[in-house]
Amino acid sequence: MSEVAFEVRRGAYYDSVVLMQLQRALAELPLVEDAGVVMATPSNLELLQQNSLLPGQAQAGPDDLLIVVRAGSLVEAQAALGQVDALLARRRAAVDQAYRPRSLSAAVKQLPAAGWVLISVPGRYAAGVAREALDLKRHVFLYSDNVSLEDEAALKQSAREAGLLVMGPDCGTAVLNGVGFGFANRVRRGNIGLVAASGTGLQAVTTHIHRLGRGISQAIGTGGRDLKAEIGGITTLQGLDLLARDPETRVVVLISKPPDAQVTQRVLALARSCGKPVVVQFMGFAPPGSRIGNLHFAASLAQAAELAVGLAGAGSNGGARGGPDPVADGSSAAGMAPRAGSGGPPAASGASTNGRRYLRGLFAGGTLAGEALRGLQTLLGPIESNLGGSQPAGRQASPGHLLLDLGGDEFTVGRLHPMLDNDLRLRQFRQAAADPEVALILMDVVLGEGAHPDPASEWAPAISEALRQRSVEVVVLLVGTEADPQGLPQQRQRLAQAGAAVYEETEAALEHVLRSLSPELELPGAPVTLPNGVAAINVGLESFYESLLAQSAQAVQVDWRPPAGGDERMMALLERMRAKA
């Protein structure tokens, strides 16, 4: 009958790779049936019990190393335990025997060029190590998980103020200056930059880009929780800003699980303003369209890679929309004006000055209204509408953005549809133009058989009068062909001469609206600058250190141990003493 022998090493710390290798080495010894080498956390103890490896008399806590061996006899099991130190020493002899500092500060003195600290210690200690790295003015790659949201937010806020990055917690992948961190793949250098809140998603896209013959400028991991409301997308926004300013990056790819709505709006607003094409792949997120301005929405990780590769090979404008410019009075066709320090967002239009900041959408076509609503609310925030069963019902005085389908049932009882009769829309239009908080009116004009015979005859005077009296923009989505009885060219010309910005594609019209109404996003803190090359200090998994060396990066491995042997009371005392120093 099998027997189990065990050994508890109080407060002993080894990284998980060492534990895995020791367990394998013990299990491969002659006469050993199975072995377990774990930190004695409740979940690890449960796994040992499921595998008949948990000795009933073992008294061990989460900070203790528990080594268990099962063999044919107790003598054989104990003999295997007696080889533990020799096996550990053999492993140590197989790795670099250079001097290993015991602290981060000592490691920085040994490698002053180190711009990065890689951290993969147990989660309960990780935030403290990361704080120390930030105090030493180093960027942080935080692989450790089980770090609290409060600690993550505090770390990232501190890093932002100092112009530093905290990638993580639970960040498994990054590629910086051609060197892979964590579980990154070996990919060629190129002009596509990535910011990803998904480690395997980043790997999938970077490897696909590599297979398609293109390469990566920088790939910044953020950790999976960065786009939660509690964190606010701090690292994602920093990464976007960094890539916007990076002359080696031509196209940016954003990857994430579905972010919180408020964070989505903020991230996409900065992406719109970065002056470069941005491919967005938010898994499980319903995109507002295939493209809005410089934003290209991908339905899958593979499509994100393919779009990025296509855009990276396009002209210097990153594949800007072809076709005619809007027929308007010059200002409506303005391009994106660079803003210092943020990669060139569009300047705010005059329509959003003088207290005017809201949209009024007045549509005759329900499908066009729905398409506009989907495209705008993701980027502008909440928009009231009578679409989808909600009930603003023409309440024009409501604060905020408002978009109405005036062809809806509630507006057509006892009156003609607005495709035929402009009276209701004209009244709504004049009311919106007189509202001191309305900056822009978006509307459709639909031509064709059976529609109003000459809509411009009524709309051009109303638009001209509104623009003469008020500082408001009017954007018209014109739907029709040259063969329509109303005469598309004539309708377009008269509306434009009245002062409207006229577009014949929804996405182009929405891009104009967003350019006018999206507020400039000022990022707090200092801009992030990456060090040249890669020199790093590794605290935790030795495999990360060995990977850096294999990629010809400079690296130092810290011989880290839990502070105060993992004693919570002593750790708290040391922290208070450090704070007073």
The answer to the question of residue 530 being in a domain is no
CA dist list (Å): 123 to 20, 65, 104, 119, 496: 18, 16, 17, 10, 61
Which of 94, 115, 148 corresponds to the end of one domain? 94
Q: What does the pLDDT average to over 329-344? A: 32
The verdict on whether omega for the bond into residue 169 sits within 30 degrees of 0, i.e. cis, is: yes
The answer to the question of residue 243 being in a domain is yes
Inter-residue contact 123 to 146 (CB < 8 Å): yes
| Alpha-carbon gap, residue 480 to 445, rounded angstroms | 9
Q: For the segment 54-68, what is each residue's pLDDT rounded down to a tens digit?
A: 887 778 887 788 999
Same-domain check for residues 63 and 196 = no
Same-domain check for residues 238 and 181 = yes
Residues 6+ apart with CB under 8 A from 184: 173, 174, 175, 203, 206, 219
Question: Which pLDDT belongs to residue 575?
Answer: 63
Same-domain check for residues 197 and 252 = yes
Same-domain check for residues 79 and 15 = yes
| Alpha-carbon gap, residue 330 to 29, rounded angstroms | 81
Strands 295-297 and 291-292, sheet pairing:
antiparallel
pLDDT at 150 over 70: yes
Q: What is the CATH number of the domain that holds 10?
A: 3.30.70
Ranking 261-265, 352-356, 422-426 by mean pLDDT, the lowest is: 352-356
The answer to the question of residue 561 being in a domain is no
Same-domain check for residues 279 and 355 = no
Q: Assign 327 a pLDDT band (cuts: 50, 70, 90).
A: very low
Give me the percent of the chain exceeding a pLDDT of 90: 64
Same-domain check for residues 371 and 458 = yes
Which of 72, 94, 116 corresponds to the end of one domain? 94
Q: For the segment 418-455, what is each residue's pLDDT rounded down to a tens digit?
A: 999 999 999 999 999 999 999 999 999 999 999 999 99
Q: What is the pTM of this model?
A: 0.79
Question: Taking the CB of residue 354, how many other CB atoms lie within 10 A of it?
Answer: 12
Same-domain check for residues 364 and 479 = yes
Same-domain check for residues 302 and 363 = no
Inter-residue contact 116 to 537 (CB < 8 Å): yes
More reliable by pLDDT, 213 or 337:
213
pLDDT at 320 over 60: no
The answer to the question of residue 242 being in a domain is yes
The answer to the question of residue 462 being in a domain is yes
Q: Is 255 helix (H, G, I), strand (E, B) or coil?
A: strand
The answer to the question of residue 336 being in a domain is no
What 8-state DSSP symbol labels residue 327?
B
Q: What is the CATH number of the domain that holds 441?
A: 3.40.50.261
Which of 63, 94, 125 corresponds to the end of one domain? 94
Query: What phi, psi does 323 have (nearest 5°)?
Result: 95, 175
The answer to the question of residue 574 being in a domain is no
| Domain span at 464 | 348-517
Secondary structure element (H or E) that encloses residue 446, with its range: strand 438-446
Same-domain check for residues 303 and 353 = no
The answer to the question of residue 528 being in a domain is no
Same-domain check for residues 259 and 382 = no
Inter-residue contact 186 to 180 (CB < 8 Å): yes
Same-domain check for residues 353 and 224 = no
Q: Assign 547 a pLDDT band (cuts: 50, 70, 90).
A: very high
Pick from 359, 386, 504: nearest CA to 446: 504
Question: Which pLDDT belongs to residue 580?
Answer: 63
Number of domains in the chain: 3
Q: For the segment 66-113, what is each residue's pLDDT rounded down to a tens digit?
A: 999 999 999 999 999 999 988 888 766 655 556 789 999 999 999 999
Question: Which pLDDT belongs to residue 321?
Answer: 36
Same-domain check for residues 289 and 410 = no
Pick from 359, 335, 360, 329: nearest CA to 468: 329
Q: For the segment 369-410, what is each residue's pLDDT rounded down to a tens digit?
A: 999 998 898 888 889 999 875 555 445 555 799 999 999 888
Inter-residue contact 404 to 323 (CB < 8 Å): no
Question: Which pLDDT belongs to residue 369?
Answer: 93
